[in-house]
Structure 1
Amino acid sequence: MTSLRVRRGGAEAPVVLLLHGLGATSDVWDGVVVALGDRAWVAPDLPGHGGSHPLPQYTFSATAEAVADLVDPADTVIIGHSFGGVVGLHLASRPGVRAVVGLGIKVAWTPDELARAAKLAAREPARFDTRDEAVARHLRVAGLDGLVDVDHPAVTAGVVEEDGRWRPALDPRAFGVGEPGVAALLAAASVPVVLARGQHDALVSSADLLELAPNAVDLPGLGHNAHVEDPAAVAALVTRF
């Protein structure tokens, strides 16, 4: 079983399971947690991210299995961002899951994009002489440039020191998960699913989402990391359930 860094809080049902995107950590949900008020929540660092141990091999289903025990069998709403959104869709049929919100999921992939991701997965982890250099790489990979400062918990958890050098905590092999197959996951879901995106998200278009889900939501004025930019708007997607 993969050892995970997991944070929890709140008390009111349903439990909100928060799954971050590729390269990030659970700390990116801090604003959403505040907006949820007394709602119970649980937020892991996904395997190979932050303080969580890596997987032997990365697939969406293996990542979902690693966090499946965090689903409250009594009552859970899942919200996942990007990579974490696909993981959430894999959990949609778990007992206790009431609904899934997928935010900023890139649903359309070209062969070239998949090849570039596979190439990134084959690289050795980047190591730097200074923390600042590692932080800059982490912010770029997680899409957090300009959204959080260098002392934000999402940054602190996103870099590690080893033998006097620094690197992003992300295991680059996680880039190799492959095409997410969102259409098939939506067809298999037995609970309500909402797909959402920031209006200015360059990774997924409104047309992409509407092709799969007629109830897809555009969040005005926001980008790919909408949950960091406007936590209250994203929390509202969850509280509708």
Structure 2
Amino acid sequence: MTDLRVRAGGGEPPTFLLLHGLGATGDVWSGLTGAIGGSAWVAPDLPGHGGSAPLADYTFAAVADAVAGLVDPRGTVVVGHSFGGVIGLHLAGRPGVRAVVGLGIKVAWTADELSRAAALAAREAPVFATREEAVRRHLKVAGLDGLTDPADPALDAAVVRVDEGWRPAFDPRAFGVGEPGVAALLAAAPVPVVLARGEHDRMVDAAQLAALVPNPVTLPGLGHNAHVESPAALLPLLHGRAAGRAAGC
């Protein structure tokens, strides 16, 4: 079993299982967990991220297996951002999962983009002389530059001290997961799924989502990390799923 760093809180199920994007940590959900009131929530660092142990080999299915034990069998709504959204789709058939909310999932990949991701996966994790430099690198990779204060103590989990200095905790081999196959995952999902994006998200556009689901959601004025920019904007999506209303897929 993969050793995971997990934050959790709240009360009764259904539990919101919050899965961050590539390069980030579970701390990106802090704004949302503070806004959902007494609802139960669980926010792990995915394998190879933050305080969680790496995997020998990264696939979407392997990452999903590593966090599957966090699904509350009494009822879970999986909320995943980008990479974490794909993991959420892989968890859709697990006992206890009631619905999946995927935010900012990149659903269309070119051969060049996949080739560049594979090249990044082959590189060693960069090492920096100072913690501050390692934090800046983490924020850049996670797409959080300008959204998260580099002095935030929550970033302690995002970097690690090594003999040569400091490096981001993120294992770059996770870049090598490959094309996610979102259409097939949606077709196989036995529970309601909603796909959402920020209006200004350059990773995925509205037409791409509309080709996959009947009623994708666009969050006005927000970008790729909408859950960090405006956590409250996600609340209607979360509470709608928790109440068991149809998710438009």
Q: Does the pair score TM above 0.5?
A: yes
Report the alpha carbon displacement of residue 120 of structure 1 after superposing the two structures with TM.
0.1
Q: Is the 8 A contact 1:24 1:154 kept in 2?
A: no
TM value normalised by structure 1 = 0.98
Report the alpha carbon displacement of residue 154 of structure 1 after superposing the two structures with TM.
4.4
Report the alpha carbon displacement of residue 235 of structure 1 after superposing the two structures with TM.
2.6
Query: Which residue of 1 is the match for residue 195 of structure 2?
Result: 195
Query: Which residue of 1 is the match for residue 220 of structure 2?
Result: 220
1:1-241 mapped onto 2 (5 Å cutoff): 1-241=1-241
Residue-by-residue CA offset, 1:204-227 (whole Å, 9 max, x unaligned): 001110100111100000000000
- Runs of 4+ aligned residues of structure 1 deviating over 6 Å after TM superposition are none
Q: Is the 8 A contact 1:139 1:155 kept in 2?
A: no
Residue-by-residue CA offset, 1:58-95 (whole Å, 9 max, x unaligned): 00000000000000111000000000000000000001
Amino acid at match of 2:155: V
C-alpha distance in structure 2 between counterparts of 1:34 and 1:209, whole Å: 29
Q: Is the 8 A contact 1:25 1:154 kept in 2?
A: no
Report the alpha carbon displacement of residue 155 of structure 1 after superposing the two structures with TM.
2.3
C-alpha distance in structure 2 between counterparts of 1:131 and 1:69, whole Å: 33
Report the alpha carbon displacement of residue 153 of structure 1 after superposing the two structures with TM.
4.3
- Range that drifts further, 78-87 or 147-156: 147-156
Q: Is the 8 A contact 1:7 1:42 kept in 2?
A: yes
C-alpha distance in structure 2 between counterparts of 1:234 and 1:25, whole Å: 18
TM value normalised by structure 2 = 0.95
Residue-by-residue CA offset, 1:28-61 (whole Å, 9 max, x unaligned): 0000101110000001000000000000000000
Aligned-pair identity in percent equals 71
Segments of 5+ residues of structure 2 without an aligned counterpart are: 242-249
Residue-by-residue CA offset, 1:147-195 (whole Å, 9 max, x unaligned): 0101224422211111150001100000000000000000000000000
Q: Is the 8 A contact 2:100 2:191 kept in 1?
A: yes
Q: Is the 8 A contact 1:86 1:182 kept in 2?
A: yes
C-alpha distance in structure 2 between counterparts of 1:235 and 1:145, whole Å: 24
C-alpha distance in structure 2 between counterparts of 1:151 and 1:157, whole Å: 13
- 1:153–1:238 CA distance, 2 compared to 1 (3 A): farther
Per the alignment, in what secondary structure is the counterpart of residue 218 of structure 1? strand
C-alpha distance in structure 2 between counterparts of 1:237 and 1:157, whole Å: 28
Report the alpha carbon displacement of residue 228 of structure 1 after superposing the two structures with TM.
0.2
Residue-by-residue CA offset, 1:12-38 (whole Å, 9 max, x unaligned): 221000000000000000001011100
Segments of 5+ residues of structure 1 without an aligned counterpart are: none
Q: Is the 8 A contact 2:127 2:164 kept in 1?
A: no
